[in-house]
Amino acid sequence: MALLKKKPKIKTFSLPKKITKAPAVLLLPQVSEKATRLQSQGQYSFKVKPGVSKIVVKKAIESAHGVRVIAVNARNLPRKTVRRGRNIGQTRIRRIMTVRLAPGQTLQTTKSI
């Protein structure tokens, strides 16, 4: 009988201090009317993997693009019900992070990350 039990491991996302690429966290830039409107205000939206924290996204953007991030806002989008023939299912979980940059800084979002 063991008195001390091992704690279950929780899978978390973390980045090393010096990171060269950020594809592990960031999936794609979010392209929509709202995201395009926010770009004029210095805010950029990215689709990210579910479970990624704001701090990890901030470090990934700063290291990949060399800019200063002021704030990160997260949005969890609801699943949609999808029907294919007689099979009914749901889409995968979607998470979008909006990053606000320091005044005067911009990102090149024409290329995918």
Helix (H) or strand (E) holding 34: helix 33-39
Q: Which pLDDT score, from 0 to 100, does residue 112 have?
A: 45
Question: What pLDDT sits at residue 113?
Answer: 43
27 burial (CB, 10 Å; 0-12 / 13-18 / 19+) is middle
Average pLDDT for runs of 10 along the chain of length 113: 64 55 72 91 91 90 90 94 95 92 82 45
Sequence-ordered strand ranges (E) for 1-113:
26-29, 43-48, 69-77, 81-84, 87-90, 94-101
Tell me the domains of the chain and their CATH numbers: 26-101 (3.30.70.330)
